[in-house]
Amino acid sequence: MSILGRFLKSVVEKGSITVTHPDGETEAFGTPTAGYPDVGIRLADKNVVRQILLDPRLGAAETFMDGRLIVEKGDIMQLVQLLRANKPFERGGKLKDPGVLKKMRDHMAGSLDRINLLGRSKSNVAHHYDIGNDLYELFLDEDLQYSCAYWDFDKHGPDMSLEQAQEDKKAHIAAKLDLKAGQRVLDIGCGWGGMALYLHRKTGVEILGITLSEEQLKKARERAEKEGVADKVKFELIDYRDLARREAGAFDRIVSVGMFEHVGTPQFRTFFRSCANLMTDEGVMLLHTIGRMGGPGTTDAFTRKYIFPGGYIPALSETVEASEPYRLIATDVENLRLHYAFTLREWYKRTVQSREKIVALYDERFYRMWIFYLAGATAAFENGGMCNYQIQYSRSRRTLPLTRDYIGETEKNLAG
**What is the average pLDDT value for the chain, to the nearest integer?**
92
Find, among 332, 210, 330, 327, the residue nearest to 273 by Cα. 327
Find, among 189, 175, 402, 397, the residue nearest to 283 by Cα. 397
The pLDDT of residue 266 is 93
Query: How far from the centroid of its chain's Cα atoms is residue 232's Cα?
Result: 29
pTM for the structure as a whole:
0.92
Q: In 285-389, where does DSSP find H-type helix?
A: 301-302, 316-323, 339-353, 355-361, 364-382
CA distance 22 to 20: 7
pLDDT at position 110 over 50? no
Q: Is 126 exposed, middle or buried (0-12, 13-18, 19+ CB in 10 A)?
A: middle
The pLDDT of residue 354 is 98
Q: How far is CA 169 from CA 255, 260, 293, in A?
A: 13, 17, 21
Looking at this protein, which amino acid is placed at residue 375? Answer: A
Find, among 378, 381, 299, the residue nearest to 335 by Cα. 381
Q: How many CA atoms lie within 13 A of 335 on its CB side?
A: 12
Output the DSSP codes for 243-287. HHHHSTT-EEEEEEES-GGGT-GGGHHHHHHHHHHHEEEEEEEEE
Cβ neighbours of residue 261 under 8 Å, at least 6 residues apart? 289, 290, 308, 311, 312, 313, 314
CA distance 351 to 328: 39
pLDDT at position 3 over 80? yes
pLDDT tens-digit profile of 346-397? 999 999 999 999 999 999 999 999 999 999 999 999 999 999 999 999 999 9
Q: Average pLDDT in the 296-309 region?
A: 91
Q: Average pLDDT in the 58-76 region?
A: 97
Q: Return the minimum-mean-pLDDT range out of 93-102, 256-265, 329-338.
A: 93-102
Would you give the DSSP letter of residue 314? P
The pLDDT of residue 91 is 75
State the angle between helix axes of 118-129 and 214-227 in degrees (0 to 180), rounded to the nearest 10.
70
Confidence of residue 124 (pLDDT cuts 50, 70, 90): low
CA distance 199 to 186: 11
